[in-house]
């Protein structure tokens, strides 16, 4: 549950006792155990990371490692470096109240311990959980292990206050060297976790579900059987994008996790993190620098403005009395899912990025430049006319890819050929599809004389469908994987067509109604 505080003195005392008695840090496994320890059994449990008076701003961090084959070395190395991990997180201020869960991954098709999951802990009990892990060393030998079960537990069998109370995602680090199976099998979910699923869960949909609660990172360390394997790397990058870390030193796992959290929490930049490693005498700097180069470089500067001070003037923004300007609200944006950007106060440096934080493609902001160029900005930020200014669409934006492509085409015509290159989109942003548009227009036609006056672009339908079918609603992240987008599109289309059918059934046959039946109409 995360009570207590980590003590290096307690850790050192336990290490000295083991050395004096000849005991192993992994006494459970080394003592001949053949089954999952009862404290790590995932059957029917919910793992919780909770706030308390002692830890009012808890941050859930789950670390699960493959313990098959050559990967059995990872937990031993991690246990030996726990003080460095906690020292960087706590003493260097990367995370004030981390609560860490350790677990292990095997193969549900053949292993006796396919999944082991500890509890979120803030104190030395996390070391106890590590010592209870069964280092089975099995595996199926097919370049696949049951990583999907680890993501399933994180998505559906954790309760974390950072997300539930503050809409702040936790972290899941998977350390392995193979691929996941293409779905969570309902038979395995029942046997290992105790859930009665009606059907198997496709991997793409599961990843999207888990990423709403936590940032997922996959670390492939040196010394593993499939280090550098193109098939494995392509598989995970298709699921997680840049959050796939190739690590050249197996012994640098702890430092890599710590700096990734520090970057994600915007507590450091990569150079500062590497300097911290040097300060604590860690030799892992070069390996960590190379591993996190992509993640650490994906940082930028954003200006987030408060509302205009003259908004309450009689004419809207003209002729008001001078007032003290409202201070901009500043926010650290987390790498990977909120653009990887750090905010700075208005006026401290030139604007480099415009953040769109809500709405859809129905928006329109007309800009006419002094040289006569004109564009109605809808999904791109109005600063796109200025060379180098980027746009980031947050997870609250409803993205219409077809309209976005059309807008980019027009921007190229008016002298901005690189608009798409300067655009980033949060993977959780909802997608507006032709099905949403068609259902939106049919619904509006069915209202007859009581029409709302919809623009017919499907924005409201997109939001409504996501509220009633959150697991099926397509999102921007689905576009990064051929396996994920087809999994959500048919369900979305079916739901939208049902809506369209009910709406059209209430209307007489008209030319407008027939047009609404076309998904591209």
pLDDT at 200: 96
Q: How far does CA 408 lie from the centroid of its chain? A: 27
User: How many whole angstroms separate alpha carbon 220 and alpha carbon 234?
Assistant: 12
Q: Give the pLDDT confidence of 298-308 residue by residue, as tens digits.
A: 444 333 333 33
User: How many whole angstroms separate alpha carbon 293 and alpha carbon 286?
Assistant: 11
CA distances from 302 to 353, 383, 390 (A): 5, 12, 9
Q: Are 108 and 150 in contact (CB under 8 A)?
A: no
pLDDT at 481: 65
Taking each helix axis from N to C end, the angle separating 459-468 and 434-446, rounded to the nearest 10 degrees, works out to 100
pLDDT at 4: 85
Task: Give strand ranges (E) for 190-230.
Answer: 201-202, 214-221
Q: Are 105 and 145 in contact (CB under 8 A)?
A: yes
User: How many whole angstroms separate alpha carbon 520 and alpha carbon 493?
Assistant: 12
- Structure tokens, 447: 């209202």
Residues with Cβ within 8 Å of 260's Cβ and at least 6 positions away in sequence, in order, are 171, 173, 217, 245, 292, 295
- Answer yes or no: pTM beyond 0.75: no
User: Strand 214-221 and strand 244-247: pairing?
Assistant: parallel
pLDDT at 368: 84
> How would you classify residue 137: left for phi > 0, otherwise alpha for psi between -120 and 50, otherwise beta?
left
pLDDT at 103: 93
Domains of the chain and CATH, by start: 8-253 (3.40.50.410), 342-425 (3.40.440.10), 434-516 (no CATH)
Provide the 10 A C-beta neighbour count for residue 389.
17
Q: How far does CA 99 lie from the centroid of its chain? A: 18
Residue numbers in the chain where pLDDT is lower than 50: 298-349, 497, 499-521
Helices (H), 280-334: 285-291, 293-297
Provide the 10 A C-beta neighbour count for residue 202.
18
pLDDT at 165: 94
């Amino acid at each position: 549950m995360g009570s207590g505080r980590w003590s290096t003195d307690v850790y050192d005392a336990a290490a000295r006792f083991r050395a004096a008695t000849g005991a192993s840090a992994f006494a459970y496994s080394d003592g001949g155990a053949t089954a999952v320890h009862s404290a790590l059994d995932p059957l029917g449990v919910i793992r919780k990371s909770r706030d308390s008076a002692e830890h009012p701003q808890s941050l859930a961090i789950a670390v699960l490692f493959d313990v098959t084959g050559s990967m059995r070395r990872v937990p031993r190395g991690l246990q030996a470096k726990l003080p460095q991990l906690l020292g960087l997180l706590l003493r260097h201020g990367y995370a004030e109240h981390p609560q860490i869960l350790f677990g292990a991954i095997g193969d549900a098709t053949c292993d006796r311990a396919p999944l082991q999951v500890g509890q979120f802990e803030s104190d030395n009990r996390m070391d106890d959980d590590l010592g209870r892990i069964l280092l089975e060393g099995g595996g199926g030998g097919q370049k696949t292990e049951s990583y999907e079960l680890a993501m399933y537990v994180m998505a559906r069998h954790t309760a974390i206050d950072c997300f539930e109370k503050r809409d702040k995602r936790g972290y899941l680090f998977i350390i392995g060297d193979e691929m996941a199976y293409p779905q969570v099998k309902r038979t395995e979910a029942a046997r290992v976790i105790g859930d009665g699923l009606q059907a198997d869960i496709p991997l793409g949909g599961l990843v999207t579900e888990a990423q709403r609660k936590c940032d997922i990172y996959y670390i492939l360390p040196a010394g593993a059987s499939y280090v550098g394997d193109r098939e494995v790397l392509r598989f995970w990058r298709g699921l997680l994008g840049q959050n796939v870390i190739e690590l050249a030193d197996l012994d640098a796992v702890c430092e890599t996790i710590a700096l990734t959290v520090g970057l994600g929490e915007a507590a450091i930049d990569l150079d500062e993190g590497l300097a911290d490693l040097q300060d604590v005498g860690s030799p892992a700097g070069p390996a960590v620098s190379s591993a996190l180069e992509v993640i650490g470089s994906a940082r930028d500067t954003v200006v987030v403005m408060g509302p205009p001070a003259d908004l309450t003037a009689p004419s809207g923004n003209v002729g008001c009395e001078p007032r003290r300007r409202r201070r901009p609200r500043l926010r650290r944006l987390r790498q990977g899912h909120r653009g990887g950007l750090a905010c700075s106060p208005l006026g401290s440096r030139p604007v480099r990025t415009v953040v769109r934080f809500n709405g859809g493609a129905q928006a329109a902001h007309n800009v006419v430049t002094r040289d006569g160029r004109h564009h109605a900005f809808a999904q791109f930020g109005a600063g796109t006319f200025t060379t180098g200014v980027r746009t980031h669409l947050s997870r609250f934006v409803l993205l219409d890819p077809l309209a976005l492509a059309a807008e980019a085409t027009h921007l190229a015509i008016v002298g901005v050929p690189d608009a798409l290159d300067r655009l980033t989109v949060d993977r959780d942003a909802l997608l507006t599809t032709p099905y949403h548009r068609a259902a939106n227009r049919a619904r509006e036609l069915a209202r007859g004389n009581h029409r709302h006056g919809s623009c017919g672009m499907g924005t409201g339908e997109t939001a409504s469908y996501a509220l009633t079918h959150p697991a099926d609603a397509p999102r921007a992240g689905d576009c990064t994987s051929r396996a994920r987008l087809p999994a959500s599109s048919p369900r979305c289309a079916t739901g939208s067509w049902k809506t369209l059918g009910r709406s059209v059934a209430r209307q007489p046959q008209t030319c407008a109604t027939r047009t609404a039946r076309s998904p591209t109409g």
